[in-house]
Chains A and B, each alone.
Chain A
Amino acid sequence: MNRLETALGKIVLKNPVTVASGTFGPEYGNLFDLNRLGAVVTKTITLQPKEGNPPPRLYETPSGLLNSIGLQNPGLEYFVNHSLPQYLELLSQDGADVTPLIVSFSGASISEFVDIMIRLESVDGIAGYEINVSCPNVEKEGLSFGVDARAVYELTKELKKNQKSMRELIIKLSPNVTDIVEIARAADEGGCDSLALINTLLGMAIDWRSGKVHLKKGFGGLSGPAIKPVALYNVYRVAKAIDIPILAMGGITTWQDALEFFYAGARVVAIGTANFINPLSTIEIIDRLEGYLKNNSSDLDSLIGTVKI
């Protein structure tokens, strides 16, 4: 019996631990077998190559990490021709032992998102799409898609309309909003299959000696244990309000953290910044979760969403 088996909508996972987009790549295959993971999520790709932001791009804060990478990536075609084959060489696609690959992508307009998805629809080996909406929408004066319920609804609807495959359509939500449930509802009504939350919280750091900002861009996304309570609360609220599978992330560092998110209503958890604290944390979390469930003669499914208030 596999106590850890779970599902994110149509994607069946052998265990509930995946990785947060941006913190992980095939390079980790030099440290452990990527097939130990429940699923793998790629770094966000965009239609055209993206240069990224000027350095410094990282700054560590108490229990947190600020980053402003700027979605640096070699673009969709490079991904399809180079990165994807590299992943598929490492990930088992064998009927009984599949490690699903979820591709994260982002666009500056709805049509750009749709174009990327249509290109990805033409290649094999992808189990789902994670839609990164935390980027400026050029059609709405650069306002981030993710903070605009109407834009999230329209984007989701257009993607669903143009999607021919059965791949899981996951919308990744930003916490930098007044009411995340409103955005989650918009995505749900637009027809997405599941939700991923939370993306990073916006923050900044200033050097008190010089008065200068630590990140060249001035601000960035905060991740790491510092944001865990925020993530947990957002997951709890969305899970309570909407009946939709949730892929949770935000500061998950230990197997106990992961359990808390399952109680809050997550079906799958993603490890992000913890990969930098310990590059083997995903594997350790999977093993310890299994041990815990075994000791308690329990399984994951029976505790999801059962938080006691």
Chain B
Amino acid sequence: MNTTKKEYSNVQVKQKIRLNKCYFLLETENHQTSPSAGQFYLLRPEREQNSILHIPVSIFDRTENELRFLIKIVGVGTEALGELITGDRLKILGPLGNGFKITEGKKTLLVSGGIGYAPLYLLKKELMYAGNQVVCLHGGRTTEDTFEADLTCTEDGSSGLKGMVTEYLLKFLEENAKSREQQFDMIYCCGPEKMMQAVYLLASRFDIPVQVSLEEYMACGMGVCLGCAVKVRTDEEKKEYKTVCNDGPVFPANKVVWDE
């Protein structure tokens, strides 16, 4: 059991920046929490009356006094968060879960798809702080799903290169495989499940370990209700359900049972 004292707090929305039709940045007060990349918070607008579940949102960026979340509108919950304006109150629980394991002085590759960009922004900062070399690949369906990266692509070709991020990942890895020093030591990945699985399979061809951040419907956020189950391999090579909220959301990709 994780025994860190947690607080369910009521924070003020400092500002909301609409990026486009689907994406927005939400900036709130930070009541003395210091999340690390890959951790998340459960969010719920204070005035929200009818919904049951909080919305799990990974931390995008933070300062001592502010938390920033990059959010994509995908349903009623995220839509309600998108309606918040400066001064509104937000119920917030976190930071929750286990973030990415940060390597030191290595060559790292960040691969994201769509809203999967969110946890990798803070991750990049942390990796650079730890003396790592960081290269970012990002893919989206259209221009709206793209964010700043070293290589950006879209499925419809509306911005960056045309195609799936995994196609370019393969080229990248093949090129770097020519010399040992150039090859990546670790890949960090967040995006649609199929994409993360593909990234994992490609990376294993080159023996590069991958850390993935998973997503699942979630209720308690603390490993109690077991609603957000994901099947993983244990150290004894048994398969069992773990919780995305408390055992994850970040898992070593080779531990995830992808096809169940």
Chain A residues in contact with chain B, CB under 8 A? 22-28, 30-31, 43, 51-60, 62-65, 67, 69, 72, 86, 224, 273, 275-280
Whether A279 touches B93, Cβ cut-off 8 Å, given contacts A31-B7, A224-B52, is: yes
B227 touches A30 (CB 8 A): no
A276 touches B225 (CB 8 A): yes
| Chain A residues whose CB sits within 8 angstroms of the CB of B2 once the complex forms | 27, 30
CB distance from A112 to the nearest CB of B (A): 21
| Chain A residues whose CB sits within 8 angstroms of the CB of B173 once the complex forms | none
- 29 A-B pairs within 8 Å (CB atoms) are namely A23-B220, A25-B222, A25-B224, A27-B1, A27-B224, A30-B3, A30-B4, A43-B224, A52-B241, A53-B229, A55-B216, A57-B217, A58-B53, A58-B225, A58-B228, A60-B51, A60-B52, A60-B217, A62-B50, A63-B52, A67-B227, A69-B225, A69-B227, A276-B52, A277-B52, A278-B8, A279-B8, A279-B220, A280-B8
CB distance from A181 to the nearest CB of B (A): 30
B225 touches A23 (CB 8 A): yes
| Chain B residues whose CB sits within 8 angstroms of the CB of A280 once the complex forms | 8
Bound: A23/B219 CA distance, A: 9
Partner of A27, one of B50, B222, B231: B222
CB distance from A120 to the nearest CB of B (A): 21
| Chain B residues whose CB sits within 8 angstroms of the CB of A273 once the complex forms | 52, 219
In the complex formed, the residue of B with least CB distance to A31 is: B6
Bound: A26/B7 CA distance, A: 15
CB distance from A123 to the nearest CB of B (A): 19
Bound: A62/B76 CA distance, A: 11
CB distance from B238 to the nearest CB of A (A): 10
A276 touches B217 (CB 8 A): no
Whether A276 touches B6, Cβ cut-off 8 Å, given contacts A67-B227, A69-B225, is: no
In the complex formed, the residue of A with least CB distance to B5 is: A30
In the complex formed, the residue of A with least CB distance to B77 is: A60
Bound: A25/B225 CA distance, A: 8
In the complex formed, the residue of B with least CB distance to A23 is: B225
Bound: A56/B218 CA distance, A: 10
Most buried by B among A23, A27, A51, A86: A27
Q: Apart from A23-B220, A55-B216, A69-B227, what 9 extra A-B contacts exist at CB < 8 Å?
A: A27-B223, A31-B7, A52-B226, A56-B216, A56-B217, A58-B227, A60-B52, A62-B50, A277-B52
In the complex, whether B141 has a CB less than 8 A from a CB of chain A is no
B226 touches A28 (CB 8 A): no
A65 touches B6 (CB 8 A): no
Whether A65 touches B220, Cβ cut-off 8 Å, given contacts A30-B4, A52-B241, is: no
Bound: A72/B227 CA distance, A: 10
| Chain A residues whose CB sits within 8 angstroms of the CB of B5 once the complex forms | 30
Main secondary structure of the interface of A (DSSP, over half): loop
A58 touches B218 (CB 8 A): yes
Main secondary structure of the interface of B (DSSP, over half): loop
A55 touches B228 (CB 8 A): yes
In order of increasing CB-CB distance, the 8 nearest A-B pairs are: A25-B224, A58-B227, A58-B217, A276-B219, A27-B222, A30-B6, A55-B229, A72-B226
CB distance from B166 to the nearest CB of A (A): 24
B226 touches A276 (CB 8 A): no
CB distance from A226 to the nearest CB of B (A): 9
A22 touches B1 (CB 8 A): no
Interface string of B189-225 (1 = CB under 8 A from A): 0000000000000000000000000001111101111
A275 touches B216 (CB 8 A): no
CB distance from B137 to the nearest CB of A (A): 28
In the complex, whether B54 has a CB less than 8 A from a CB of chain A is yes
| Chain A residues whose CB sits within 8 angstroms of the CB of B240 once the complex forms | 51
| Chain B residues whose CB sits within 8 angstroms of the CB of A56 once the complex forms | 216-217
Bound: A29/B224 CA distance, A: 11
Most buried by B among A22, A277, A278: A277
Bound: A22/B227 CA distance, A: 10
| Chain A residues whose CB sits within 8 angstroms of the CB of B93 once the complex forms | 279
CB distance from A304 to the nearest CB of B (A): 28
| Chain A residues whose CB sits within 8 angstroms of the CB of B51 once the complex forms | 60, 277
Interface string of B234-248 (1 = CB under 8 A from A): 000000110000100
Interface residue ranges of B35-60 to A (CB < 8 Å) = 50-54
Bound: A95/B50 CA distance, A: 42
In the complex, whether B118 has a CB less than 8 A from a CB of chain A is no
CB distance from A67 to the nearest CB of B (A): 6
CB distance from B132 to the nearest CB of A (A): 32
B53 touches A26 (CB 8 A): no
Bound: A276/B245 CA distance, A: 13
B91 touches A278 (CB 8 A): yes
A65 touches B53 (CB 8 A): yes
Most buried by A among B91, B217, B225, B231: B225
Bound: A63/B54 CA distance, A: 13
B229 touches A57 (CB 8 A): yes
Bound: A86/B226 CA distance, A: 18
In the complex, whether B260 has a CB less than 8 A from a CB of chain A is yes
A276 touches B222 (CB 8 A): no
In the complex formed, the residue of A with least CB distance to B240 is: A51
CB distance from B146 to the nearest CB of A (A): 26
